[in-house]
A = this chain, B = another copy of it.
Amino acid sequence: MRSKHKINEAVAQVPCFECPLLTCEGLRPLTKGQLDFTWSLKSGELHLERGGQIVVQGSISPHLYTLLSGIAFRFKTMEDGRRQVVNYLFPGDLVGLQGAMDDPLSHGAEALTNVRLCVFPRHRLFEIYEKHPRLAFDISWLAAKEETALDEHLLALGRRKADERIAYLALFLLRRGKQTGLAMENRLDIPLNQTQIADTLGLSLVHTNKTLQSLRRRKILNWQADGVTLLDIERAGALANFDLPDEAGRPFI
C-alpha cells in the first residue's frame, strides 16, 4: 500500500541552507547558526505522491517531519470507518509532534499533492530545547497556532450550517495558501474531492455535493476537483462570519 505512494525515502537532500522554505514569503527565515544546527539534525527527506501516508494512526513514529512542499491533511478514523479530517498541512508545518510527545499517534496524515518532507529523528527533539531556545520557542508557537486553527474548526463544526461551513473552509484554506505562497488573491489550487470536504466539515457526501452546487449557483464560490475559486469574497466572508487577518512571519524548523 504505502510503497505504492512512496517515491523515495532518502533522496538527494536539500541542504538546509538551500531549504525552499527560506525564500517563502510569509515564513520567517532562520539564522546561520540555526541552519547549521537544523542541518546537523536532518536525517533525510521523504517524498510521497498524492495519497501517500505520512504517518499512520496508531503507529509509533521515530520521526518528526517538516513539510517542505505540497499540501497534506491530518485525520482520525473510528473503528467503524467514520473519518474526520482534522486539519490541513502547508509548507513549513511540523508533522508528528504529537507522536513525539507520547506514543501511539492518535491521527494519521496523508499527502494531498505530491509532497516533500524534511525528516528529523524524534529522539533528538530535546536537543533543540537544550541548544536553541529560539527554535524551541518556535515549536511551541506552531503548536499554539495549530490550537487556534482547531478552535476555529470546532466552532465551524459545532455552530455553522452546511453552506457556512463550506465558505469557512474555503476562506481558511485560502488564508493558509496565501501565507505560504500557494494561493492567488481568490483562488487556491488544491485537489480536494468532495468526500474529503465532507469528512472535513462533518457532512455527508451527498449533502456536501448539493451545498457546493448551491454555492456555485449563488456565485459565492466555485469548488472543483482541482481547486477553489472565491467568486465573491465579501459574501463568502459574511456567510461564514469569518475574515482572514493574514499574519506573516510564521516560523518553521
Nearest Cβ distance between residue A162 and chain B, in whole angstroms? 12
> Which residues 101-131 of A sit at the B interface, judged by CB distance below 8 A?
101-102, 106-107, 126, 129-130
A22 at the interface (CB under 8 A from B): no
A222 at the interface (CB under 8 A from B): no
**Residue tally, chain A, CB below 8 Å to B:** 48
CA distance A129 to B131 in the complex (A): 10
> Which residues 126-184 of A sit at the B interface, judged by CB distance below 8 A?
126, 129-130, 133-134, 136-137, 139-141, 143-148, 150-155, 157-160
Nearest Cβ distance between residue A80 and chain B, in whole angstroms? 7
* A203, closest chain B residue (CB): B158
Taken residue by residue from 69 to 107, chain A's Cβ proximity to chain B (1 for < 8 Å, 0 otherwise) reads as: 000001010111011101000000000011011100011
Contacts of A150 in B (CB 8 A): 147, 150-151, 154
| B101 in contact with A144 (CB, 8 Å) | yes
A241 at the interface (CB under 8 A from B): yes
| B159 in contact with A84 (CB, 8 Å) | yes
A201 at the interface (CB under 8 A from B): yes
A44 at the interface (CB under 8 A from B): no
* A126, closest chain B residue (CB): B137
| B97 in contact with A144 (CB, 8 Å) | yes
A202 at the interface (CB under 8 A from B): yes
Contacts of A100 in B (CB 8 A): 144
| A158 in contact with B159 (CB, 8 Å) | no
> Which residues 59-77 of A sit at the B interface, judged by CB distance below 8 A?
74, 76
A9 at the interface (CB under 8 A from B): no
A226 at the interface (CB under 8 A from B): no
Contacts of A199 in B (CB 8 A): 158
CA distance A199 to B144 in the complex (A): 23
* A102, closest chain B residue (CB): B247
Contacts of A84 in B (CB 8 A): 154-155, 158-159
Nearest Cβ distance between residue A247 and chain B, in whole angstroms? 7
CA distance A130 to B132 in the complex (A): 8
CA distance A189 to B26 in the complex (A): 46
Contacts of A145 in B (CB 8 A): 98, 101-102
| B148 in contact with A106 (CB, 8 Å) | yes
> Which residues 206-245 of A sit at the B interface, judged by CB distance below 8 A?
241
Task: Return 6 A-B CB contacts under 8 Å, by A number.
Answer: A74-B151, A84-B155, A86-B151, A86-B154, A86-B155, A147-B147
